[in-house]
Amino acid sequence: MKLAAARVAAAMLLAEIERRPHAAADVCVTELQQLWSGFGSVLLVNDALIVKEVRLPDRDLSYPELRDLGSHRVEAAFYERHAARLLAEPIALRVPKPLLVRADEQQITICMTRLDGEAVNGDLDRATAHAALETLAGLHAAYWGIGEAEIDGLHEHGSFWHLDARQAEFREMPHGGWEGRLRLAARALDLRLKADAMQTCVHGDPKDANFFFAPSGAQLFDFQWIGRAPPSKDLAYLFTCCARVKAPAVEAALLAHYHAALTEKLRAKGIEPPPLRAVRDSLQLAYADLARWMSGWEGGWWAKPLLSARTRLLLDELDGGTPLRDEQAYIDAVFARFPP
């Protein structure tokens, strides 16, 4: 969107939100980023508001583009139907406050408050990793035990890499070596994570670029991939993408910190928390599930040492280092070793 047109559109949005006229000439608009697939942009208005404008292009869309468009509709549903509850006490999650949400077949507009935290450039240190885990624990506790019929506009299966949405990458996985064994185990991992007793709503893309940090804690945004899944999916991605866990002791300490935060929040709701062992087991499966996507992704691995080591250990535990006869054999092995 040209900035002159963006100022006019922003002035109209401000007039609708504040119920008073705004002159386009008095509105300051800065484009923060372009959206994937040329779907629109994210704008900063008057240094105070964030406006996400999604516009459907006038052409046939590929499956990946349709998937991304669906994620924008999910984010609109999140801000329209879920964010207010998460912002309010006792949850008090630090997410943008929605001011206006509008969606039709051709365009999606989300206007929200600007968060006041600061970005972290590069890997999270111990303090910021702890803050991020505490915020994720708050999100997970808010949706703990959610059923399939309760997602209310969010993804049926949370996270951007789940197997149903990533069949193209699955088809590109190697057939030989440990990645070939992972290919055979992919369906088993997916089914077991979907059957996990610890169902909640995960953020689905908890990388450093989607967190801000303030003295009050970590702030979370970009809810395109929020949906039902076990919390281990968020943990696997955070540990892999921005915490860069390299030693088992570091992973154990971070996992214990998350579990303590989750335990506190669940007990405040009168819910018995899962044992740490259950979260650790689920994390093993989530690491391998994430590795499955990376194995076939055209962008290649960006955390191979971490994920490959953990995934090979899991596969060795399931098949003893030799491929099992078929997918069903891996389903049987996964559910026997990790009963839901």
Nearest to 101 by CA among 92, 89, 109, 93: 109
Report residue 43 as tokens. 């704008």
130 three-state secondary structure: helix
DSSP 51-116: EEEEE--SS---HHHHHHHHHHHHHHHHHHHTHHHHHSTTT----PPEEEEEE-SSEEEEEEEPP-
Reported as a single tens digit per residue, the pLDDT across 41-71 is 898 888 888 999 998 877 788 888 889 999 9
pLDDT at site 305: 79
What's the pTM value of the predicted model, to 2 decimals? Answer: 0.93
Residue 24: pLDDT above 60?
Answer: no
Reported as a single tens digit per residue, the pLDDT across 106-132 is 899 999 999 999 999 778 999 999 999
Reported as a single tens digit per residue, the pLDDT across 88-110 is 999 999 999 999 999 888 899 99
pLDDT at site 23: 55
Q: Looking at the chain, how many residues does it have?
A: 340
Reported as a single tens digit per residue, the pLDDT across 266-311 is 999 999 999 999 999 999 999 999 999 999 998 777 777 788 999 9
Q: What is the mean pLDDT of residues 308-320?
A: 96
pLDDT at site 340: 93
